[in-house]
Homo-oligomer: A and B are copies of this chain.
Amino acid sequence: MNDFDYQQLDDVIHSRIRLALMALLISVEEAEFNFLKEKVNATDGNLSVHLKKLEEANYISVKKEFIDRKPKTVYSLTKTGIKAFELYVAQLEKLIKK
């Protein structure tokens, strides 16, 4: 395959905000909505849209939990998400390291 073919990069991951979310989730295993929001510096609406897109691709899973009796939404990468992220990073590195 041609290393410079831009379509090799996974479009679901490549958007800046989703890339930041994936990179963050791979580093922390799981994270709560407000933590993600603060770290990637997104608005509620924008974050929701992009988390949904990652969930639809089966890259992240979502669970509702009660922490200190408050409902929280917790996100983590799925195995599919981890694999997709690793492939994305490998292809990205091939592209930028000429």
Binding site for B on A (CB under 8 A): 2, 4-7, 9, 11, 14, 16-17, 19-20, 23-24, 26-27, 39-42, 89, 92, 95-96, 98
Contacts and interface: CB of A to CB of B under 8 A. Distances in A.
User: Which applies to chain A's interface (DSSP): helix, strand, loop or mixed?
Assistant: helix
B4 A20 contact: yes
Contacts of A2: 39, 41
A16 B11 contact: yes
7 contacts: A4-B41, A5-B39, A6-B17, A6-B41, A9-B19, A14-B16, A27-B98
B89 A23 contact: no
A5 B95 contact: no
